[in-house]
Chains A and B, each alone.
Chain A
Amino acid sequence: MTTIRLKGGRIVDPANGVDGEIRDLGIRDGRIVALHPGDKVDTEYDLAGCVVMAGGIDLHTHIGGGKVNLARMMLPEDHRLNRPRDSLLELASNGCCTPGTLETGYRYAQMGYTAAFEPAMLAANARQAHMEMGDTPILDHGAYVMLGNEELFLEMLARGEDPQRIRDYVGWAIGASKAMGVKVVNPGGISAFKFNQRKLDVDEDHVHWRVTPRQVVHSLARALSELGVPHPLHIHASNLGIPGNIDSTLATIDALEGLPGHLTHIQFHSYGKEGPKKFSSAARQLVERVNAAPNVSIDVGQIIFGQTVTASGDTMRQFANADLGSPRKYVGGDIECDAGCGVVPFRYREQSYVNALQWAIGLEIFLLMDDPWRVVLTTDHPNGGPFTSYPHLIKLLMDKSFRDEQLARLHPDVAAIADLREIRRELSLYEIAIMTRAAPARLLGLADRGQLGIGAAADIAVYREDADREAMFATPEYVFKDGRLVARRGRIQAVPVGGTHFVEADYDPAIEKTVEAWADRHASISYRHMKIGTDELCSCSNGGALLACKVHGRGRTL
C-alpha cells in the first residue's frame, strides 16, 4: 500500500468546481484519497508554485489502426529525426505526425496526458487497432467503431428495418469490436464512393441503397441513446473541407432531432463561401447553433502550420483531395464492405489563404463557444497537426498578444479581415482544464477520470506555473498514472501498460443470426471471427486492464 502526498499545489479541478484552491492531494493504491495532515506517507512531493490537474484526455486522436500504420510506412521522412532517449525505459521509436505507438505513449505522457481515444476503428480492423493501442504505453485507451457505411447497416436501413433491430445491431457491433462508442464518417458516403458516387449531401440519396446521410445519422444516434452508450454519436459530417459546408453541418445537427451528438473536427466543417475567394469562416453561424443546442458537443480539429498527414476513413473526400498532397503521395482503400481509408500527406502553410483561414476558424470556434463543457481541445491528430502541438495551441487560446503575433504572420487577406482579430477572450486555466480533461471525461462517461475528487483514479498532471503557457504545458513537473509516477520534467519514469476502455451494452442476441447470414453471403472471414472476445481483447491489448463500462439502456449507466 503506497501512500503519496502532493503538498501545497494549486488545484484546478473543474469537475468538482475547484478553481485554484491551494491544498494537498493524497494518493493511495492508485486512487485519490483524503489524507489528514498527520497521516504517514511513503513519499511527499512539494508542489509549491505548481498547478495540479487531472491527467489529460484526448477524445479524438488517430493513434492506432491500419490507416495510421500505412501513414507510418508511407512517410519514412517523418521518422528520420530520432529524439535522443533520455530514459533507458524507452524503447526506440520515432516520428512526429505519425509516431510509432511507443513514441506516442511516451510523448503524450510527457505532456501530462493519461488517456487517448482512437476515433476511427474499422470493425474489420478492430483487432489491429487494439493491438496498436495496447502497444501505446502508459495511456489508457479506447476506440469508436465506425458504423454507417457498412453494407449490412445500409441494407437494414434501406429495407426499413425496425429501429429496435438497428439498435440491437449497433449494440452487437460495439460488443464485437470492443468499442467505447460509435463514429460515423461521411454518413453513407464511404459506401457511396464504392458505387462511384462522388458527392453525398445530407438529404441526397446514396446511389445504391437510396438512404440519406440524415437517416444514417438519426438512426445511429437513436440507437446509441436507447442502448445508453455514454459517448454521443461521434460525427464526422458530410462534405468535409468543402467551402459552404456549414449548410450540411447545420443540417446534420438538425438530423439529430435533439438526440446527443458529438461533431468532431468541426473546424473542417465550418466553412462559408463568401468573399472574393468564395471561402470564408462560418464559425459564428456554427457556434450560434451549437450554443443553442445542448444535445451537441464538438471538438475542434485545430490546424497547426507545418508538415502533417491527413488520415481519414472518408475515402470520398480524401480521393478528391489526393492532388493536394504534399509530398505528393496517396493511399486509398475500399475495405471489406465495411468502410475505407484515405491518407494524404499535407503541409499547412501560413501564406496560404485557405490554410490561414482554417487556422483562424478553429480558434474562433474555441473562443466563441459559451460553454467550455461542450468543446474539446483537439487537432484531430495528425489531420490538423500532431498532438505534440497542444501546448502551443493552449498558448494561442490563453494569450491574446501571442495570438495576434501569429495572426500577423499569416496571409495578409486573412490577417486583415479575420473575425479572430476582434475576439479578446483569453481562456483561463480552469477553462483549459475543462476542454482537455473534465469535458472529455464527461462526454465519454468516465466517472472516475478527468477529475481529482476523492475516489477518482490518480491520473494527475502537475505543471510548474509559468507565464509562458506553452512551456508550462509542454513539460509538466510530474505526471502520475494510476498513482504511479510516469514522467518527471519530460523524463519517463515508468512504462505501465495502459488499460482498454470499452462499453458492454445490452442487446437482443437474435440479431446475431442476421449478421451471420450477411457474413455468409458477403464477408471474407467466418462469422466466428467477427467478434473479439474478452480474452482475445486482453491478448490484443497487451495484457492491459480491461476497463469495461456496462450500460443497460435508456441512458442508465451502472
Chain B
Amino acid sequence: MNTTSNGAAAGAAAQPRTWTCPFCSLLCDGFALEGGASLRLRGSDCPRARAGLAAFDDIGAPRASVDGAACDLDAALDAAADRLGAARLPLFGGLATDVQGMRTLYRLANVGGAILDHAHGEAMMPALRMLQDRGQMFTTLAEIRNRADLIVCIGTDAVSSHPEFFRRCAPAASQASACRVVFLAAGEGTPTAADIPWASAVEALRPPADVFDTVAMLAALVDGRRIDDADGELAALAEAMRSARYCVLVWEPARLPPQGALVGESLLRLLMNLNRKTRAGAFTLGGNDGAQTANGAMSWLSGLPLRSRVGPQGVDHDPLQYATGRLLDERAVDLLLWVASFTPELAPPATALPRIVLGHPALAAACAQPGTIFIPVATPGINADGHLLRADSVVSLPLHAVRDDGLPTVAEVAHALVTRLTVDAAAKEGVQ
C-alpha cells in the first residue's frame, strides 16, 4: 500500500499544486496548495482547511513516547503491543483514518477482539438508526448542482462544519438556474444572499416551535393535511416544496438534540410523500474526520457498521451500548486505542484507562502522560497517500502526500502491532 511519498520532496512543493482536502467530508479537490514547510491554501478561504493546514506548521521532528518519555518508534510499538496483548477488551476509538488504516485496524481488532467506535459516533448514530429503522432517500452534490430548485437546510447553517458546502452546490456559471435556499430553524447568523450569490433567493425561517415540532408540522403540511393553526411561513414552504421540481433537504445529525433520529425519520417520511408526486432527496452533513470512511470500511469488511464488537465469537452491533463515552464511563473496556490522524482537535478523551494514541504530531504534548503511549502518524493528503469516502458515501477520492515528514501511516503502525501480537501469540502456544 502507498505510504509516505518520497516523490513529494520539500523542494518540489514550492509550486502550487492541485490538492484534495482531507479536513472535512466534502473532500474538495478544486483548490491548490502551496509551500513545503508551511502549507498555504489557494483558491479558498475555508477556515477548516486553513486550520487543518496550520496544524502542520511547527510539527518539528515528532517522536513517539511511552508514559511521557520520548522513545523510538520500535520501543513504542513494543510497549503498545504489550499493553494491547494484555487487554481483555480494548476500545478502538477515534478512528480518524483512511481506508487502508481501517482495513489494518480491523485486522488488529480481530487479533484479540475489540469494540470499534468513531470520535463522531454520537453524531453518526441518528442517521444510522434512521437508516436501520426506516431507510433514507439521498441525493449527492452533482445532483444538487444540476437539478435543485429548492434547498431547505433544516436545523443547520451547513457551513459551520462544511464551509464549502454552498460553493460545491453552485451550478456552472453558464447554466441558467433558479434555486432558492431556505434555512429552517437553523438559528441566527445563517448565510445570506451575499454568501450564496448563485441562489435566486436566500431566506431564514425561525418558527417558534422546536425542531421536532417544526419538522412534524412541515411533514404534515407537505402531506396535504389540514392544520388549523399552521404557521403561515411553514405552510408556504411546504407548498414550495410540493411545487419544486427537485427539492433538497439538508440536515446535520450532529446539530440535533438527543433523539435526533426522530427528526431524520420525519424527514424521510416527508421525502417519501413528496416523491410520490415530484422529486426530492436529502443530503446528510456529517462524516468529518474520516467518520464516513471508518463506517463504510467497517460495514463492508464485517457486515455491520460502527459501534460493533469484533472477536472470535463474530461481530455484535449495538449503537447504544458500544458508545465511547459510555464504555469509558462504565469501565466496560480496559484499554483505549485512539486514532486521530487528521487534526489535533481530536484529542483522546481523558480516562484512567491505559491509552495508546496513534495521533497527529501536534497531539504529542497532550499525550505525554503516564499510562499513555503516543505514536505520531502521517495524515492522508498531507504527508501520506490514502483514500477517503465523501459525506454522501458514494464518492471516494484518492489523497496524495504533498510532503514527507517521515511519519508512518496508521496502516503501517496497525500492521506492526498485528505482527507483534500474532508472533507473541504463536510463541505462547509454542509454535515456531
- B-contacting residues of A (Cβ < 8 Å)? 64, 66, 68-70, 72-76, 78-79, 82-85, 91-95, 98-103, 122, 124-125, 127-128, 131-132, 135, 151, 193-196, 319, 322, 328-338, 343, 520-526, 528-529, 535-536, 539-540, 542-543
* List of B residues within 8 angstroms of A528 by Cβ: 18, 29
A522 with B146, Cβ < 8 A, contacts A329-B133, A329-B134 known: yes
State the main secondary structure of chain B at its contact with A. Answer: mixed
Q: Judging by beta carbons under 8 Å apart, are A98 and B303 in contact?
A: yes
> Closest residue to B275 on the A side, CB-wise?
A319
Beyond A73-B128, A82-B315, A124-B395, is A135–B30 a contact (Cβ under 8 Å)? Answer: no
Contacts of A193 in B (CB 8 A): 279
User: Nearest-CB distance from B57 to chain A (Å)?
Assistant: 26
A127 contact from B30, B140, B297, B396, Cβ within 8 A = B396
B432 within 8 A of A: no
The B268-299 residues at the A interface (CB cut-off 8 A) are 272, 275, 278-279, 281, 295-297, 299
Contact B131 A337 (CB under 8 A): no
Query: Are the C-beta atoms of A95 and B314 separated by less than 8 Å?
Result: no
| Alpha-carbon gap, A316 to B288, bound state (A) | 31
Q: Does B60 contact A (CB under 8 A)?
A: no
Beyond A84-B314, A102-B301, A525-B395, 10 additional contacts (C-beta under 8 Å) are: A72-B305, A91-B301, A93-B302, A100-B299, A333-B281, A334-B138, A336-B394, A521-B172, A524-B145, A539-B100
Do A522 and B301 form a contact, CB below 8 Å, given A94-B314, A539-B1, A539-B100? no
- Minimum-distance CB pairs A-B, first 4: A82-B314, A100-B303, A524-B141, A95-B303
Q: List 15 A-B contacts (CB under 8 A).
A: A69-B299, A76-B317, A83-B314, A85-B314, A92-B110, A100-B301, A135-B103, A135-B300, A194-B279, A195-B279, A322-B272, A331-B136, A335-B140, A524-B140, A526-B18
Chain B neighbourhood of A195, CB < 8 A: 279
B11 contacts chain A at the CB level, 8 A cutoff: no
Note all chain A residues with C-beta closer than 8 A to B143.
194, 334-337
Contact for A524 among B128, B142, B175, B245, CB less than 8 A: B142
Q: A95-B303, A100-B302, A524-B168 are in contact. Are A74 and B131 (CB under 8 A)?
A: yes
- Among B100, B300, B317, B395, chain A packs the most CB atoms within 10 A around the CB of B300
Instruction: Please measure, in the bound complex, the distance between the C-alpha atom of A122 and the C-alpha atom of B392, giving whole angstroms.
Output: 14
In the bound complex, CA of A447 to CA of B29 (Å): 40
The digit string for B380-414, where 1 denotes a CB below 8 A from any CB of A, is 00000101010001111110000000000000000
Please, which residues of chain B bring their CB within 8 A of the CB of A329?
131-135
Nearest B-chain residue to A99, judged by Cβ: B303
B312 interfacial by beta-carbon distance below 8 Å: yes
- B281 engages A334 (CB within 8 Å): yes
B281 and A100 contact, CB distance less than 8 A: no
Q: Are B304 and A94 interface neighbours, CB within 8 A?
A: yes
A336 CB contacts on chain B under 8 angstroms: 140-143, 394-395
Residue from B135, B142, B303, B385 having most chain A Cβ neighbours under 10 A: B303
Tell me the complex Cα distance, A343–B132, Å: 12
Asked if B303 contacts A520 (CB within 8 A), the reply is: no
Complex contact B137–A332 (CB within 8 A): yes
Q: B300 touching A72 by the CB < 8 A rule? A: yes
B166: CB under 8 A from chain A? no
Is there an interface contact between A128 and B396, defined as CB atoms closer than 8 Å? yes
Given the complex of chains A and B, what is the CA–CA distance between A98 and B132 in angstroms? 14
Chain B 146-162 interface residues, beta-carbon cutoff 8 Å to A: 146-147
Which residues of chain A have C-beta atoms less than 8 A from B20's C-beta?
529
Answer whether residue B246 sits at the interface, using C-beta atoms and an 8 A cutoff. Answer: yes
Say how far B224's CB is from chain A's closest CB, in angstroms.
18
Q: Is B199 an interface residue (CB 8 A)?
A: no
**Minimum CB distance partner of A345 in chain B:** B135
Q: Is the CB of B387 within 8 A of A92?
A: no
- With A85-B312, A194-B147, A520-B172 known to touch, is A131 a contact of B303 (CB < 8 Å)? no
Chain B window 101-117, contacts with chain A (Cβ cutoff 8 Å), 1 for yes, 0 for no: 00100110010000000
A144 and B131 alpha carbons, distance in the complex (Å) = 27
B207 at the interface (CB under 8 A from A): no
For A128, the chain B residues whose CB sits under 8 A away are: 296, 389, 394, 396
